Amino acid sequence: MLKVDRNDPKPIWQQLLDQAISHISNGNWPPEEQLIPSRELAQQLGVSRSTIQLVYEELLARGYITTSRRGGTRVSASWNFESGASTNCASDGPALPSLPYIYTSANRLKDWLKGEEPREVKIDFTPHEPFLDHLFQKHWRQTFLHAASTMNLRNWTYGDTYGYLPLREQIKRYLSHERGIHVQTDQILLTSGAYQSIDLIAQALLHEGDVVSVEDPGFPASWMVLHNRRMQVVPIPIDEYGLVVNQIPPESKLTFVTPSHQCAVGVVMAEPRRQQLLQQAVKNQSWIIEDDYDGEYRYHGDPLPTLFSKAPNNTLYLMSFSKMIAPGLRISVLVGSAQAIAQIASVQELVYRHVPIMETMTLTRFMEQGHCMRHMRRVRNVYRRKHEIMTKAIAASGLARRFTLSGIETGSHMLLEAEPLFDDRTATLELLQRGVRVYPLGLYGMDSARRGWVLGFANVEERLIEEGIAHLADVLLRS
């Protein structure tokens, strides 16, 4: 029997609906049982007939009851519950699969990006975050508002899998003028970061079990993503000339490299090594992923020529706005032959569809108005000043007499390398206790035994660089 509680804050129709559902679900009202006509039930309960009709309509819509001219309103025959059946299906749910590699990799990437412990620090020599200031924020906000005000309804539909065409046209011009890469827009694919780009390449151009080669030490996501796609990942060492190409296995189907400014060690890949890598890729019909993450920031001369410009059919050029502007954008660029990009775009359409339209339209306007190039020129000058302050502070501290400084020609970080047996993790933790965060080279290594610290200066205030290096010297020279 249904009851009405006038003190219950829930509407009467909701009270009656909940009771009816409970009676049917528990088997109190068995299948095919005829319900009391709405007029009669309304009189019994002292409510309006429209209230009962609303309850019955909702039960009908949810499949709890059926109605017909001859049979009247009845509990649906599909409710064939065994005695004691209940809708209370709460449980612990299916057992979750064990994903040890995912957990380990995710935690390692978190350490690599954020440092040893998630605590507040005064001086953070992060190599991962670029310089941003209020002027950038002002221009980006203005551009965002303009992009939002000029959008039309067509912009909000499913977009081009390759990415927003006007942005690809802006990128095409940038690549031609600044990096010497001359391509068409169908050779450009927009993705949501380097991780996704590598993952798409693995799915589209490689097979499970393929041998692939990565820098060691190098970009950790490169081998983690490829390993997760069940590739046989081979670590290739780095020396003062860059990737040791002659250690790449001949059966390797892909080589990931950061030639303009090696991700960890910071060296620039020597021209003979570049030629050797390109010749090997052409000979073995293998791929090269050229990650040019901060090649724009070079302090002596123009940016170096790209591998892609010399072997466009074997090279996939990866450029990210994470270092050029900000990692929060999550927009990267993948450039390759039209055929390779078309195949990668097919996977993108299946798995990710396209990158968000609002960010791409804002970035398009940001580039069209010249804000992007002005921002990068200004940032380059900021980096040049900080780079000079950092190198002078390291030289004055005496660190350079015991440790090796490298990677100072390009980019926003440099390497202070220790002997292989040096305990860089202990020193890192001691510095963290002082409020100074540094990033040990061990986090970049797959099998590498090299030790030291990757020191970024892009996001450190100029006035704090010398103080941070003084703490670094005090800890390391006592070790």
Sketch the domain layout of the chain as residue ranges: 12-75, 102-131+374-478, 134-369
Residues near 347 by beta carbon (within 8 Å), at least 6 away in sequence: 200, 203, 204
User: Which among 62, 97, 75, 87 has a CA at the least distance from the CA of 31?
Assistant: 75
Burial label for 381, CB within 10 Å (0-12, 13-18, 19+), is: exposed
Q: Distance between CA atoms of 284 and 160, rounded to whole angstroms? A: 34
- Residue 454: helix, strand or coil by DSSP? strand
pLDDT at site 83: 42
pLDDT at site 84: 43
pLDDT at site 212: 98
Instruction: Give the number of other Cβ atoms within 10 Å of residue 270's Cβ.
Output: 15
pLDDT at site 141: 95
Q: Distance between CA atoms of 147 and 413, rounded to whole angstroms? A: 34
Q: Distance between CA atoms of 23 and 28, rounded to whole angstroms? A: 5
Which residues lie across from 73 on neighbouring strands? 67
Instruction: Provide block-wise average pLDDT over 10 residues at a time, the chain (479 residues).
Output: 87 91 88 89 90 91 87 82 52 82 86 72 92 93 93 87 96 93 96 94 96 96 94 96 96 96 92 96 96 81 86 95 89 96 96 90 95 92 92 93 84 91 88 92 92 93 94 89
What CATH number was assigned to the domain covering residues 102-131+374-478? 3.90.1150.10
Residue 220 CA neighbour count, 13 Å, CB half: 17
pLDDT at site 87: 52
Task: Return contacts of 389-398, CB within 8 angstroms, 24+ apart.
Answer: 389/457, 389/462, 389/465, 389/466, 390/414, 390/455, 390/457, 390/465, 390/469, 393/465, 393/466, 393/469, 393/470, 394/469, 397/469, 397/470, 397/472, 397/473, 397/477, 398/473, 398/477
Here the tokens at position 239 are: 């020396």
Alpha helices in 151-269 (DSSP H): 165-178, 194-205, 220-228
pLDDT at site 310: 94
pLDDT at site 113: 82
Q: Are strands 332-335 and 404-406 parallel, antiparallel or unpaired?
A: unpaired
Please tell us whether the domain made up of 12-75 is placed in CATH 3.40.640.10: no
Burial label for 157, CB within 10 Å (0-12, 13-18, 19+), is: exposed
Q: Judge whether 102-131+374-478 and 134-369 match in fold.
A: no
CATH ID of 134-369, from 3.40.220.10, 3.50.50.60, 3.40.640.10, 3.40.50.620? 3.40.640.10
